[in-house]
Structure 1
Amino acid sequence: MTSWRDRLSALAHEHLPAELADAWAGLFRPGIRLVSDGSGPRVGRLGGAPVLPADVAWPEWPGRGPLDFLASVDCAALPRESLSIPLPAAGTLLFFSFDGFRRGADDDPLLDDVEGTRVVFVPAGVPVAERAVPRGPVAYPAVDLYAEVVATAPEREHHLLDQTETANGESLADAAEEVEIPGDYVGSDVFGELVAQAKGRGREHQIGGFAAPVQGAVENEIAAEVLGSYQDPRLAEEAARWVLLAQIDTDDKADMIWGDAGMLYWMIRADDLEAGRFDRARCTLQCG
Structure 2
Amino acid sequence: MKDWMIDFAEFAREELPEDSAERLIGLLRPAIRLSAAEDGESVAGRLGGLPKLPDGMAWPSLPDEGRPMSFVAELDCGVLARYEVDVALPVAGTLLFFATTDARQHQVIYVPRGTAVAERPAPDDRVEVYAELPLAAATEPTWPPRNHPALVDVFGSLDEAEDLVWHHVLDEDTGEIFEQQLRLFEDGGRDGPPHQVGGYSDGLHSPIEAVAAHAAGTGWYGDPAFQEEACQWVTLLQVAEDTRAGMIWGDGAWLIWGIRKDHLAARDFSKVHLSVQGH
TM-score by structure 1 length?
Answer: 0.84
Residue pair 2:232, 2:260 contacting (<8 A) in 1 also: yes
Show the counterpart of 1:53: 54
The 2-side partners of 1:89 and 1:14 are apart by 38
Bigger mean CA offset, 44-53 vs 73-82: 73-82
Alignment pair present for 1:42 and 2:43: yes
Equivalent residue pairs, number: 270
SS in 2 for 1:61: coil
1:279 to 250, 270, 278: 270
Alignment pair present for 1:249 and 2:240: yes
Q: CA-to-partner distance for each residue in 1:147-199, whole Å, 9 max, x for gaps?
A: 12111111121111111049xxx953452364146998868x56973772464
* Change over 3 Å in CA distance of 1:97–1:158 after alignment to 2: same
Report the CA distance between 1:142 and its aligned residue: 0.5
Matches within 5 A, 1:126-137: 126-135=115-124, 136-137=126-127
* Change over 3 Å in CA distance of 1:14–1:179 after alignment to 2: same
Show the counterpart of 1:73: 75
* Change over 3 Å in CA distance of 1:195–1:45 after alignment to 2: same
Residue type at the aligned position of 1:56: M
SS in 2 for 1:129: strand
The 2-side partners of 1:20 and 1:190 are apart by 16
The 2-side partners of 1:7 and 1:160 are apart by 22
The 1-side partners of 2:175 and 2:116 are apart by 54
Report the CA distance between 1:63 and its aligned residue: 3.6
Alignment pair present for 1:175 and 2:159: no
SS in 2 for 1:146: strand
SS in 2 for 1:8: helix
SS in 1 for 2:20: helix
Show the counterpart of 1:92: 94
Alignment pair present for 1:193 and 2:195: no
Residue type at the aligned position of 1:155: P
The 2-side partners of 1:184 and 1:250 are apart by 34
Report the CA distance between 1:41 and its aligned residue: 1.7
Show the counterpart of 1:20: 20
Show the counterpart of 2:259: 268
The 2-side partners of 1:9 and 1:197 are apart by 16
1:227 to 208, 212, 217: 217
Show the counterpart of 2:29: 29
Report the CA distance between 1:279 and its aligned residue: 1.7
* Change over 3 Å in CA distance of 1:209–1:34 after alignment to 2: same
Residue pair 2:81, 2:89 contacting (<8 A) in 1 also: no
Show the counterpart of 1:122: 111
Show the counterpart of 2:85: 83
* Change over 3 Å in CA distance of 1:190–1:29 after alignment to 2: farther
The 2-side partners of 1:262 and 1:184 are apart by 32
After superposing on structure 2, the runs of 4+ consecutive aligned residues of structure 1 that deviate more than 3 Å are 37-40, 170-174, 180-187, 189-192, 228-232
Bigger mean CA offset, 137-146 vs 219-228: 219-228
The 1-side partners of 2:146 and 2:96 are apart by 29
The 2-side partners of 1:247 and 1:255 are apart by 16
Residue pair 1:152, 1:195 contacting (<8 A) in 2 also: no
Show the counterpart of 2:63: 62
The 2-side partners of 1:12 and 1:80 are apart by 28
Report the CA distance between 1:202 and its aligned residue: 2.9
Residue pair 2:239, 2:255 contacting (<8 A) in 1 also: yes
The 1-side partners of 2:263 and 2:191 are apart by 32
Residue pair 2:83, 2:138 contacting (<8 A) in 1 also: no
The 1-side partners of 2:188 and 2:24 are apart by 14
- Structure 2 residue runs of 5 or longer lacking an equivalent are none
